[in-house]
A and B are shown apart, each in its own frame.
Chain A
Amino acid sequence: MKKRQNPTYKWVLSEIGREAQVHPHYADLQNHFALLLMAGGEMEKAESHFLEALHLNPKYREAILNLGFLYIEMRRWKEAEEIFLSEVKRHPKDGFLHHVLGILSLQTGKKKEAIARIHQAIQHHSYYRDYYQKKGIWQRGVVVLDQKAERALKKIHLNHHDAQFHNFIGLCLAKKGRSRQAVKELRKAARLKPDEIIFHANLGTVYYYQGAYSRAVREYQKTLEMDPTYGMGYANLSYVFGLMSRTQEALHYMKKAVQVNPRYADLHYNLALLYSDRRRYVEAASELKKALRINPSYLFARINLGVLYEDQRKWKEAKREYRRILQITPDDEHIRRRLERIS
C-alpha cells in the first residue's frame, strides 16, 4: 500500500490512533481512525473501529457509509448492499447511493437492477449523466454495460473513498496550522469528487484560516453554484466579506442565508447586527425578534434588542427586555446596571 509509506499518513494515523485511545467514547475519532486504517489496507481493524463508532452513535451517517465502502472493498457484497439499501430508503434522492447500489447489483449479477439504479442516479444528479456519458455507459439515452463500463463504474466509488481520505488528512493538517499542505490535500479531494460540496466548503474554510479571503470567496461561491440552497455557503460568504470590511456584500449574502434558512436564529442575529451597524434600526429589531421567536433563550439577541430600544429612547421596551434577561440569568450584573440606569 502506497499510502502506508507516506509520512503525512503515518503522522496522522499515529495522532488519531493516540487520540482514539485517550478518548475511546468519541465516535468521530473511531470513524476517522477506521478511515485511515482502511486507506492503509488494514481492513479488519478498520471494520472494528467503524462498528465501534456506530455503537457509540448509531445514526452517524459518515461512519455508516464508510462501513458500506469497506464491505465493498472486502467484497462482502451482501453486507454492503444492506447498508446502502437502508440509506437509500432514508435519502431516496441521493444519486450517489443509487450509483453505488448499481455497482453492487452488477457485482451480484443483477444487471437489470444495475441499469435501473443507473437511471435513478442520472435522474437525481446531472453529474452522473455527464460522467456516464464520458465513460460510454450512457449512450443516446441507453445504459450500456460492457466490461469497460464496469471498470469505470467501480472507479467512482474508489474515488469517493480516496476523496474522503484526502479531505480528512487536509482537515487534520489545517487543525495543526499546516494550511499549505491542507490546501493540497483538499484540492486532491475536490478533484477526485468534484460534485462534493463539503470539500469546497472545507477548502474555503482553510483559505479563511490563512487569511486568503478572495480564494475563500471563490470556493464558497463554488458551493453555491453546485447547490443554491446551501444556506451555510451564503453565511460563510457573508462572514468572509465581514472580515474584508465589505459590509454591503456581507449584508447581501446574509439576507440570502436567512431566506434559505429562516429557522436559524444565529443568522437572523447576524443580519440584525448588519442592519444595526447601518443604523437601520427597524429592520434590526425585526430580525432580533425573529431570532427570539425561534429561540426565546437567545440572550444575546435580547441584549441587542434592549440596547437598540435604549438607543431609540424606547425606555419601556428596553426595560422589558432587560427584565426578561434577568429572569433567565438573575446574576447578570451588566444587565442589572443597564436596567438601573434607565429605571
Chain B
Amino acid sequence: MLREDFIIQSNLRKILIRSNINYSRMDFGTVKGMVYLRGIFQVSHHHREREEGKEKEFVIRTLHSFEKKIKSLPGVTDVIFQFLNWRKEKGQWVPVEIEKREEEDEKKTESNV
C-alpha cells in the first residue's frame, strides 16, 4: 500500500498544535513513512514548571508521550529524533547542553512549521 506522507505530515502537525510543545524552533519532515524531527525541543512557556527538577521530568514525560503518539500514526514506520538539546540513549531521554552559537545557527536555518 502506498504510504501517504502528506497525511502523516498533517497528523503530525495536529499532534503538535494540540500538545504543550513549543514547536516554533522545531522542524519536521516525512519520507516514505519515516518521520524526522530536528531543532530545539521545548515545552510551551504556558506549561513550564517553576522548579528545575520538575521541569526536566515534565519535558521527559512530554517527549515520551510525543514519541508514542507519532509512532501510533498509521503509515509511520520509524521516527528519527535529531534534537539539539535532547538525545535518546538506551531508551532514555537525556538533556544535551548546547552551545549558544549552535543555538543561534539553528535559529537561522530553521524553516517554518
Contacts and interface: CB of A to CB of B under 8 A. Distances in A.
B9 A273 contact: yes
Nearest to A18: B50
Contact of A175 (B10, B13, B27, B46): B46
A265 B112 contact: yes
B54 to A, nearest CB: 13
A274 B46 CA distance: 34
Interface residues of A, number: 39
Interface in A199-247: 205, 208-209, 239-240, 242-243, 245, 247
A332 B81 CA distance: 11
A127 B61 CA distance: 49
Contact of B9 (A264, A270, A303): A270
Interface stretch (A50-58, A64-72, A293-301): A293-301
Interface stretch (A19-27, A129-137, A190-198): A19-27
Interface in A294-337: 295, 297-301, 303-304, 307, 329, 332, 334
Contacts of B11: 242-243
Main secondary structure of the interface of A (DSSP, over half): helix
B29 A303 contact: yes
Given A23-B45, A300-B36, A265 B7 contact: no
B6 A270 contact: yes
Interface of B: 2-7, 9-11, 13-14, 17-18, 27-32, 36, 38, 45-46, 48, 50, 80, 82, 109, 111-113
19 contacts: A19-B46, A22-B48, A22-B50, A26-B45, A29-B45, A205-B17, A239-B14, A243-B11, A250-B10, A265-B111, A266-B111, A274-B6, A277-B3, A295-B109, A297-B109, A299-B36, A300-B36, A303-B31, A307-B32
